[in-house]
Amino acid sequence: MLRPLFAPLLALCLLLAPSLSQGEETPKEEASQPAGSAVSRTSGQDPCPESDFPHRLMQPVADCRKQDKVMAATLRDEAMRDDPLHILLIVALSKLERTDGGPSLFGAPASFWEDWLIRLFGEREGCYLLACVLYEISTIPGLPQTEINRITVEYLRKSAALGHPQAMYGLARHAADFPDRTFRMPEHPGFFILPRDVPEDGARTPESRYWLGAAAAAGSLEANFHFGYAHSVHSYGVYDERKALEAYAQAMRLGVLSALKRINLLLNPTGEKTPFPPSTDCKTLLYYNALATYLDEDGDVQEIERAAQLMMQGGNETFAEACLTRTEYEEILRKAKKEGAGGKAALQEKKKAREALLQKAGARLAELRAAFAAQATEQTSPAGAGS
């Protein structure tokens, strides 16, 4: 079954992940969320970042599961009045009512609410967000966890099939728990796929490996981070330091600033030991650290300048030999600044797209209220009561 959420919510978390030990640690708790997201989580099992499932939605779940009709009505009215995200909970809870035989608390069947969820958010995003909610409430004691987990994977599949990168990654991690028996690996998928099954989540079955590759190709930051790890250890059978560096760098560009720790370790295997070995690729090392600085809203460019001075001078405790010229430094800084600005802009565009989606959904709530009233009237009319 799916694993419960292990890590607590961490507000405004863009913490750097710990460095690898000499052993082959798993990458599950290292991929922070993109710069600009409000809250992030550290559990790699969770298919959804906190920005996709506001924690304020949890209390209504507990209240409604107590068959609190007043709370259910309040949740329904808030959803139809000014908070379309609450419709996610209504759909999820309505499905559980149908599953365990309880009475409907929301004045309409689950099919009504699910139809409106798709109308408001679109099928791709709506199915993904519903999977997030279902996954989250599966951790509440007393709920039919196995059934919730099965439905979660069902909606991840629907969204992944429509191209949602995060749904693809979530499906990669959990497809092995509820496999698609009809799945066959495409002969020419068009993107990199790990060559063999391994015991790690995201690579336990051919279906999992396929969706992990699809997620990385579609721009999932977690999937790219996962590939960085896979290429940096031997257990996956694809050890390649250059490809590991490329995958971690792509994850960092997409917003996983903690990938910088892994990049630094690849470029400087001595870790915190000084001085850096003469073989250190100073230019690449400086570039990725500069890029992370420009991607980070709170990045300190002066730290990059100090590091560059040590590289250019040599003969110090950090760099025994000079390994950088002034011209190289200026070119690196120019390139990193340009790419960092582009990365920030891309993250802002994603944020704006999410806000626009919520605004669009909110603008249609009047239609939802009218449809709810119409179906309620139909249900209470003699014809509806007799149907």
Predicted pLDDT of residue 297: 85
Predicted pLDDT of residue 286: 94
Q: What is the C-alpha end-to-end distance of the chain, expressed in Å?
A: 39
Predicted pLDDT of residue 67: 56
The answer for 193, left when phi > 0, alpha when psi is -120 to 50, beta otherwise, is beta
Give the pTM. Answer: 0.79
What does the block give as tokens for 91? 């759909």
For 41, the 3-state DSSP assignment is: coil
**CA geometry: angle 207, 213, 174, nearest 5 deg:** 45
Predicted pLDDT of residue 305: 94
Task: Collect all residues with Cβ–Cβ distance below 8 Å to 202 and sequence separation of at least 6.
Answer: 169, 172, 173, 208, 209, 212, 223, 226
d(CA 20, CA 295): 23
Predicted pLDDT of residue 109: 85
List the pLDDT tens digit at each of the 387 positions of the chain: 333 222 221 111 112 122 222 233 444 445 533 332 222 233 345 555 555 555 555 555 555 555 567 778 888 888 898 888 889 888 988 887 755 555 578 888 889 999 999 999 999 999 999 999 998 888 877 778 899 999 999 999 999 999 999 999 999 999 999 999 999 999 999 999 999 999 888 889 999 999 999 999 999 999 999 999 999 999 999 999 999 999 999 999 998 888 999 998 888 876 665 677 777 889 999 999 999 999 998 888 999 999 999 999 998 888 888 999 999 999 999 999 999 999 999 989 988 998 999 999 999 999 999 999 998 887 666 655 544
Predicted pLDDT of residue 20: 22
Place of tokens 């196995």: 146
Report the sign of the C-alpha dihedral through residues 267, 269, 272, 274, in that order.
negative
What's the whole-number average pLDDT of the chain? 80
What does the block give as tokens for 326? 């002034």
Helix, strand, coil % over all residues of the chain, rounded to 5: 60, 0, 40
What is the number of residues in the chain? Answer: 387
Place of tokens 């992944």: 160
